[in-house]
């Protein structure tokens, strides 16, 4: 065991069966306590070197106390913010008070501002000038400050993730240039604001990829195709081209779709499921196929079921199986479920409560239309009221 002088660290040769090594810093001294068992002391042992630095360079940087006090005063959830982006708390150039003043001037409440900072502390690093310029660019798309505040409340990262305002401006120009309208951009900013934080090259790659898909499938209107698919799935621009390609290939090969059928699917009801990972899509479809096959459905019926409502693939295996089992237990025929797949959008508790209410008013689910199980609450209540009236009339007669 040696202790070389003049080094920023000490090196100790340690037996393999060393019980423990502990660093003990008392009153500024550096003292090592090494404890061996009697057995180890009297046996030959092999040695393995390690080193431990004893200088202060490894100590964690101190947090900005002034920043912490300001955040507590503003009602920020400091614990949440620290977990999300701890590095911000070591900076001395934060602009939390300027950020609050700016957002208050745009109509945000103090509670909303505190929530934004709690979930995305990096917002405090943006300068007032950068905030103002970015806000003006967003206002080219949305009609009011309140709309932007609502987006920030829901997704603060979308606005504060990047300070590259030139990239944002170029993205806006590019999306207009590929045929998207002002309404399309407003919908994108409302539903998938991260699109505008993407690098311009990423957005270009996805649009060019979608145009190539369109042409490869024999469609001569790539601009119209891109607009339709983005309208149906505003999140597609923040996905990878690799994922979209894998999902399109899976859909075409699994369901033996013609080019025309595939175009119709991905521009319409199947646009949203392109967001799924290909593994997730495969597992979900395999589960649907196995479950429905076990209930006597043919391959043709299963194909029709999935293609008529592809959103079914979003359901996890357990949730899908539980809903099917719930309906079967309530004597709903599987053929009815195949014809009305949207009823699986409803939660199990909703399905059970509605089935119970309908049975109580004499509604025969085995022979009647079951689509009302997925109706809006307002529409369903109106139908239920009508059924109650009809039942009372029959009882009176």
Residue pLDDT, tens place only, 36-69 = 344 433 344 444 344 344 445 455 567 788 899 9
Residue range 192-199: mean pLDDT, rounded? 89
Residue 116 has pLDDT above 90, yes or no: yes
CA 117 to chain centre: 19
Residue pLDDT, tens place only, 379-392 = 999 989 988 888 77
pLDDT band at 9; cut points 50, 70, 90: very low
Q: Please, are residues 266 and 248 in contact by the beta-carbon 8 Å criterion?
A: yes
pLDDT band at 395; cut points 50, 70, 90: low
Query: Looking at per-residue confidence, does 283 or 60 come out higher?
Result: 283
Residue 395, judged by CB atoms within 10 A of its CB (0-12, 13-18, 19+), counts as exposed
Lowest mean pLDDT segment, chosen from 133-137, 318-322, 331-335: 331-335
Residue 28 has pLDDT above 50, yes or no: no
Residue range 313-320: mean pLDDT, rounded? 91
pLDDT band at 29; cut points 50, 70, 90: very low
**How far from 151 is each of 159, 160, 182, 382, CA to CA, in Å?**
9, 12, 17, 34
Tell me the β-bridge partners of 30. 25
Lowest mean pLDDT segment, chosen from 97-106, 248-257, 365-374: 365-374
- Domain layout of the chain by residue ranges: 64-160, 164-275
pLDDT band at 194; cut points 50, 70, 90: confident
Q: Please, are residues 211 and 164 in contact by the beta-carbon 8 Å criterion?
A: no
Residue range 307-313: mean pLDDT, rounded? 92
pLDDT band at 323; cut points 50, 70, 90: very high
> What mean pLDDT is reported for the chain?
84
Residue range 22-35: mean pLDDT, rounded? 40
Q: Please, are residues 208 and 216 in contact by the beta-carbon 8 Å criterion?
A: no
The pLDDT of residue 110 is 95
Asked: is 164-275 a CATH 1.10.20.10 domain? The reply is no
Look up tokens 């649009």; give the residue. 207
β pairing state of 20-26 and 9-15: unpaired
What's the CA dihedral at 289, 290, 293, 294 to 10 degrees?
-160
d(CA 370, CA 351): 10
Residue 383, judged by CB atoms within 10 A of its CB (0-12, 13-18, 19+), counts as middle
């Amino acid at each position: 065991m040696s202790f070389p002088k003049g080094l920023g660290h000490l090196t100790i040769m340690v037996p393999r069966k060393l019980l423990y090594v502990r660093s003990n810093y008392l009153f500024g001294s550096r003292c090592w306590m090494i404890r061996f068992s009697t057995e180890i002391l009297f046996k030959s042992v092999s040695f393995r070197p390690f080193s431990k630095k004893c200088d202060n360079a490894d100590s964690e940087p101190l947090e900005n106390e002034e920043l912490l006090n300001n955040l507590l005063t503003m009602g920020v959830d400091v614990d949440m913010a620290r977990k999300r982006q701890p590095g911000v708390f070591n900076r001395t150039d934060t602009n939390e008070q300027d950020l609050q003043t700016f957002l208050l001037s745009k109509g945000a409440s103090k509670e909303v501002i505190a929530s934004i900072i709690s979930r995305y502390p990096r917002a405090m690093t943006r300068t007032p000038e950068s905030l103002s310029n970015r806000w003006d660019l967003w206002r080219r798309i949305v009609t009011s400050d309140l709309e932007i505040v609502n987006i920030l409340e829901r997704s603060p990262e979308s606005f504060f993730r990047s300070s590259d305002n030139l990239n944002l401006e170029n993205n806006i120009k590019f999306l207009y240039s590929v045929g998207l309208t002002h309404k399309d951009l407003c919908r994108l900013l409302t539903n998938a604001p991260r699109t505008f934080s993407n690098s311009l090259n990423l957005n270009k790659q996805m649009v060019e990829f979608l145009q190539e898909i369109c042409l490869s499938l024999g469609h001569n209107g790539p601009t119209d195709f891109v607009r339709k698919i983005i309208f149906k799935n505003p999140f597609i621009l923040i996905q990878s081209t690799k994922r979209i390609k894998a999902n399109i290939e899976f859909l075409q090969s699994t369901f033996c779709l013609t080019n025309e059928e595939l175009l119709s699917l991905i521009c319409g009801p199947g646009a949203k499921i392109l967001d799924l990972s290909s593994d997730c899509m495969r597992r979900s479809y395999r589960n649907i196929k196995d479950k429905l096959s076990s209930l006597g459905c043919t391959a043709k019926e299963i194909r029709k079921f999935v293609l008529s409502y592809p959103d079914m693939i979003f359901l996890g295996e357990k949730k899908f199986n539980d809903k099917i089992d719930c309906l079967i237990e309530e004597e709903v025929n599987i053929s009815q479920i195949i014809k009305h797949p949207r009823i699986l959008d409803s939660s199990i508790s909703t399905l059970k409560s509605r089935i119970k209410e309908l049975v109580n008013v004499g509604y025969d689910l085995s022979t009647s239309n079951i689509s009302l199980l997925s109706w809006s609450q307002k529409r369903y209540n109106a139908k239920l009221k009508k059924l109650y009236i009809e039942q009372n009339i029959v009882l009176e007669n």
